[in-house]
Structures are given as structure tokens and as C-alpha cells.
Structure 1
Amino acid sequence: MAAQLLSWFPSIQYPPEQEGRWSPVTSTINWCEEDYYATIYSAEIVNTFTNVLFMYLAAKGIHNCLTHGHDNVFVVAFVGYLLVGCGSFLFHATLKYPMQLIDELNMIYTTCLMCYVTFSYGHSKAYSTALAGSLVSIAIGVTLYYHYLQDPTFHQTVYAILTIIVFFRQLWVMEVNIRPRFQSQARKRANPRLQGGLQLAQEREDARDLKILRQMWTMVPTGLGIFLGGFLLWHLDREYCSDFRRWRRQIGLPWGMVLEAHGWWHLMTGTGAYFYIIWGMWLRQCLNFKQDEYRLDWPNFASMPVIVRERKADTNGSAKKGN
């Protein structure tokens, strides 16, 4: 249906594939976008430039962290996210094996970092050190075995397993530590705002936390749905590549680029991963009992969420950032 609709628009024919600046291809996987059809300087031009979204969102996330005082570990997470985008940019531009490793292994490393963020919070220094050492060992082991095996399925499986583990762990942490009925009396006593047993204050904080949970349960499925939608397009791009190529050539340029499903995978998984890191930042502030100091700034579904520090009124009536 989409191909028939786009075929009505003015277009030019796809040029044939050609030798490029980075030929020959040495990567262990080549995607459905035809090589060097648009320029000799980019093997897969759509798959290359859709990674600019990663760079933009990484810069947005790092700025958010530095401006609003989030933990430095999230700056590192966004740097890892940036490296994933840069690695993917270089990989699709060149289709060289070293660039493929930069792309795919950075996905593993960044997910291991988020695993550390999720599982280390609230534990002793000894536990955190042991966890860090274990994750570094996993990352090194995956790197060496993947380089030996050179099978993309191995990378995809490890990445999926790590992502699923971290995602469900964060869901558990979110529910147990924020939903009022799951909070233990010991944890409530640890929160200085609840000392004294003030019923009205506790009711207000319970209402606040329930509001935060509703917001999280809007943002998290949105990010997950976008991510899984990208994964579906990635799968279709692999399974029905010959059909996509035929449809693109029937439509012509530039409209055929709309059917570059792997490019959509970049846009959608990049967005979903950004939502995931932002969720982790917000959850961390909640675990630090700073729900009254930070809030989600997400005006609508067409915008990217950020976690910002609330502004407080000073004695002169003007607004300033809370310390």
C-alpha cells in the first residue's frame, strides 16, 4: 500500500550499486540497503545518517545531566550511547569489520554499564566492586568470543539477554521502592521526610509517588513500544529484503528511502534507548528521596523527555534553581 501511494510522487530511478571509497566490504553482515548507490563516500547512506539522532539525543542527555545535577554515571551512560551512534555511523558508512566491532561492542558495554547502575545502588562498596569486576569480565569475554566466532547472532543474543535483565530489574526496583503499599516501614523510616509519623505529610507523599508511577508507566511503555517497533522493522528488513529492494526501485528516489527499514530501526531504537536512560535517571532521584526536587519534563509525545530540577522562589520572589 505504501509503495503504491509513493509511486505517484515524482521520482528518479535508483542508480546501480558501485564500488565505493571504502570497498571492499569486510563486515560479517551487510544490510538490505544497496551499497554505494547514492555516493561513493557512504556504503549505506540512510543507515549512516539516521545515526545522527543518537548524537543529538546523547548531547541532549549529557546537557540534561550537567545542567540539573544528575549522577555522573548517567553522563558516562550517555557517552556510551553516543559511542554506539558514532560506531554505527562509521560501520554503515564503511561496512568494515573494525567499525562493526565498534558499533556492536559499544552496545554491550553500555548495557553492562546500565546493569551496574541498576544492580549496585544501595549496596556496599565491596558488593559494587565485585559487580563491576564481574561485568567487566563479561564484557571482555563477550568481546574475545565474538571476535573469535564472528557470528552476529551471538552478539544479538547477548545484547537481548542483558537488556531484558536490566529492564525487568528496573521495573522491580521502581515498584518496590516507589509504590506506597510496597515500601517497607524500615525504608520509610530511612526517609527523613517521614520521621515523626505525620499522617498528612505521608498521605501527600504517597499521592506524589502514585503520580510519579503513573507518569513512569506512561513513559516506559512508550519507550518500550518504540523500541520493539524498531526491532520488528529490523526483523522484516532481514526477512523480506528482496521485496523491500524491489519496492524501492519501483518507487524511485528519494521516496524509496522511506522503505529503508533498518534506518527506521536506528531512529526507533535510538529513541527507545534514550527513554530508558532517562527513566533510570528519574528512578535514581526517586531512590535518593528527591521526588520533590526533580520532575519529568515531557510536554507531549512528539517531544523527548528530560528530568529537570524544580525551580524555587527566592526571598525576592524571583525563581532560581534549587540546590
Structure 2
Amino acid sequence: MAVKPAWLPSIPYPPAQEDGYWAPITSTLDWCEENYYATRYSAEIVNTLTNLLFVWLAFKGMYNCYKHGHDRIFFITFFGYLIVGSGSFAFHATLKYPMQLVDELSMIYTTCLMTWASFGHNRPLPFRVMLGIGIAGLALFITLYYHYLQDPTFHQNAYAILTIVVLLRSMFIMEKNIRPHFNERQEDRTQNGSAKGKMNAAEIERIEERDRAILKKMWLMVAVGLSVFLGGFGIWNLDNMYCSKLRVWRREIGLPWGLLLEGHGWWHLMTGVGAYFYIVWGIWLRHCLNGRQDEYEAVWPSLFTSLPSIEKRKTNANGSVKKTN
């Protein structure tokens, strides 16, 4: 049982309401946060407002894509990320079924974009067109079948499978195409000799050190993003499993401290950050696959107090790109 220290100031929770502005509830899901206790204009105030992180990070990502010339697919992906956050904002504010579909299906569509970007890169145009048609067909099937079933478990499983597939694919091509050991194996098979054979030893060593440093930072980015995402998933599940206890504890602790026990709100914050890490990693990976490691770098000043971004390197006075040591 949660016991609030006597010295901790708080105010009692207002009673939950059923006649809010957006009533009645038509969604197939209603989360652990009590409805309309804070304002009649938002069914779940914490679950609504935590989606503003998605909105901020989406605009941050789109601006970075525009400023630093990243591939258009990532600008579109960040726009999809914006729709996810906006849809979730509307869903939790209203608990209406159409807004639930916007929230949940935009997650599927954004992940499908990343699937196409991952599997279609450097492939012939006919392959990319057929891949796009196939992925669009899959997205349509998920949409229609989910609307027919109206079972959130189907959506959650479909999203999880898509995410795992594209994540594992990206990890594979990252190691295969960037790590010097695997690059050397590929070059040894070429008939015309490797590009490294035309370089001096110092340049070869610089490139290999650069790529190993990039991989180290990439894996750190993957580890942090995945840990935050899975941490949010764990908290969300605890919120579902112990909802009745959490509601009692919140009312015992009072406001504003009880807001810290809104597990679905933490899910929004942590998955928002985790998804942002994944998209940024995808941008950096794409530049590396295009052989532009010396042109772009990951700017990540602090592991715990800042978010990474991929930016163009500064140039020398003569216009050449500054190389890493």
C-alpha cells in the first residue's frame, strides 16, 4: 500500500466522470487512467499530454532532415511519427473508435515505411516498386482485418512483428556493410581488386578506425533506444496488470504525485524516445551505406541529457569535408 509522507503536500483526486465532453466512449480500449477527473475536455489527461513529446520530436526530426539533406523517406517517416503522436493525442482525449484507428494504424504505416526503406535500399527500381506494392498490400490487409476483428492484440502483434523484422534487417546490413572485417571479405571476392588496394596504408587505417568508431556509437544508439523502448513496454504491462492497485495508490498519494504512477503515460514518453532513436539510427545507417561517412556525423553531446541527431560535418576553408582522425 502506498503511504504518502505527512510532509508531502498534495491535493485530493477529483472523482472520475462519465459525462465528459467527448462521451460516450466508443473505443475498444480504455486505459488505467481514470476518465475526465481533471477536465471534461480530455478523457485521459496524462495519456493525452504525454503525446506532445512525439509532436516535438517529429518536428525536430523533420527540420533536421530538411537542414542536413537526409533522404526524403526519413522526412516522410518523421511525418508519420507526427501522425502517430497526433492520433494518440486525439484518441486519449476522446476515447473514440475512429481516433483509435488513427493512433494504431499510423504506427503500422510508419513502420511499413521503414520496412520499405530498409529492404529497398540500393535495389533496382522494379524491385523497389514491387516491394512497395507488396508492403502497401500488407498494410491494407492489416487495416481491413483489424477493423473486422477489432481485437487490439492483433494490432499489437502485427506492429511487434514488423518492428522486429526491420530492426533485425537493419542490424544485419549495418554489420555486413560497415564493419571492416566483412568489407575486406567482400572485396577479396571482387575481380578487379578492392578500392582499398589503391589507397595508402595510412588512409586504409583511418577508414577502418572511423568505421569501427561509427559501429561502436551505432550499437550504443541501438542499445539505448531499445532499452528505453522495452522499458516503456514493461511499465505499460505493469500498468495493465495492476491497474486496480495503482488507482488506489494514486488516490492515497494525491495530486500531483499520483501522476507519476500513470504507466501508460510513461509508455508514451519512453516509446517516443525509443522510436526517435531508431529513425535517427536509420538515417545514419543510410548515409554510411552510401559511403558518406566522412560527410555526416552523429551529434550526441550527452548520453543521458541529450538526443542524437545526424548532421553534416563542417568543411575546411577550401570547401573540403573535415575528416575524422
Instruction: Tell me which interval the TM-score lies in, with the shorter structure as reference length.
Output: over 0.9
The partner residue of 1:276 within 255, 278, 294 is: 278
Which SS does the other structure have where 1:253 is aligned?
Answer: coil
The partner residue of 2:243 within 237, 241, 244 is: 241
String of CA shifts for 1:302-322, please: whole Å, max 9, x gaps: 10100000011224xxx9989
Identity %: 56
TM-superposed deviation, 1:200: 2.1
Matches within 5 A, 1:36-47: 36-47=36-47
**Which residue of structure 2 aligns with residue 226 of structure 1?**
228
Is the 8 Å Cα contact of residues 7 and 250 (structure 1) preserved in structure 2?
A: no
TM-superposed deviation, 1:201: 1.3
**Which residue of structure 1 aligns with residue 95 of structure 2?**
95
**Which residue of structure 1 aligns with residue 155 of structure 2?**
155
TM-superposed deviation, 1:189: 9.4
**Which residue of structure 2 aligns with residue 10 of structure 1?**
9
Q: 1 CA distance for matches of 2:189 and 2:87? A: 42
| Residues 6, 131 of structure 1: alpha-carbon distance in 2 compared, 3 angstrom cutoff | farther
Is the 8 Å Cα contact of residues 188 and 194 (structure 2) preserved in structure 1?
A: no
TM-superposed deviation, 1:97: 0.1
Q: 2 CA distance for matches of 1:82 and 1:186? A: 45
Q: 1 CA distance for matches of 2:270 and 2:255? A: 23
**Which residue of structure 2 aligns with residue 307 of structure 1?**
310
| Residues 197, 237 of structure 1: alpha-carbon distance in 2 compared, 3 angstrom cutoff | same
List structure 1 runs of 4+ shifted beyond 4 angstroms: 5-8, 186-193, 319-322
Give TM-score, length-normalised by structure 2. Answer: 0.93
Matched, 1:54 2:73: no
TM-superposed deviation, 1:158: 0.2
Q: 1 CA distance for matches of 2:63 and 2:157? A: 32
Which SS does the other structure have where 1:313 is aligned?
Answer: coil
Matches within 5 A, 1:150-299: 150-183=150-183, 184-185=186-187, 194=196, 196-299=198-301
Matches within 5 A, 1:120-135: 120-135=120-135
- Whichever residue aligns with residue 306 of structure 1, its letter is S
TM-superposed deviation, 1:152: 0.3
Q: 1 CA distance for matches of 2:284 and 2:36? A: 42
Is the 8 Å Cα contact of residues 228 and 271 (structure 2) preserved in structure 1?
A: yes
Give TM-score, length-normalised by structure 1. Answer: 0.94
Q: Mind listing any 5+ residue stretches in structure 1 that lack a counterpart?
A: none
Matches within 5 A, 1:71-86: 71-86=71-86
Q: Mind listing any 5+ residue stretches in structure 2 that lack a counterpart?
A: none
TM-superposed deviation, 1:186: 6.9
- Whichever residue aligns with residue 242 of structure 2, its letter is Y
Which SS does the other structure have where 2:24 is aligned?
Answer: coil
TM-superposed deviation, 1:122: 1.5
Matched, 1:34 2:34: yes
